[in-house]
Structure 1
Amino acid sequence: MENVENFSSFMAGVFLTRREISCSELSYLMNDYSIKMNSCIVEDDDEFYMFNNFIHFDNKKIFVKEAYDDYVNINNRDICFEDFLYGLTSNDVKVYFNIPNRSNNILKIKTKVS
């Protein structure tokens, strides 16, 4: 049996890895994801409507209008745009796009010890 993936989760994963994507590349990635992850990507109008304020569609590409560190208002709550995207992204989408878990996303500073 196929798994089901929400389109908003998939798009959040796309936008965590790049600021813009062509429509043909998106189509390719969706097909590739469906095959590799044995999953069907379905529309989810309840969540995807939130993207309307933050992304722009034109004839050839889709791109993010916000900076990743900007705060956006979601359901009367201010949230960092990157956190919003990360929260929508499922574990399978994170694996497919090689998006690290937050605990592994810590900046490590090397110090020289004499």
Structure 2
Amino acid sequence: MLGSGLISHRPGLVKVLQVTGIAFSVALLCGLVVSYMIYRLAKAEESQQLEKLYEIVEIPLLGDDKEFLEDDGQDASSHLPPEKEKELGKFISSVIKTKRKESILKKKLKGKQTFSNNKIIQMEDL
């Protein structure tokens, strides 16, 4: 037994210390598990919010950049801490780039489809 040699004349105290140590260890482990679960839930919530933001963000057309920059005066991210503001700025920039690429690809596909449809129609006329 732990400490039974040190406190041989008080066996009840040894049992109390053992139970207290075990209870403290169990409580510490439970606290760590709960903290980890809260951390994971917070990360999942953050990623869901970023996905919603990705879906909501509308990119300006290339000709409308001036209007977009003028409307930037009332930025909601100005209330964020600087490190979060930088992360949000990077995320929004990547979303805008991705959306523009998607838009360009859609236009190219439409152009190819229109071109191939016109060729098919021309071949049918012959």
Report the TM-score, using the length of structure 1 for normalisation: 0.25
| Structure ranking higher in helix proportion | 2
Larger strand proportion, structure 1 or 2? 1
Q: Select the structure with the greater relative contact order (CA < 8 A; seq sep ≥ 6).
A: 1
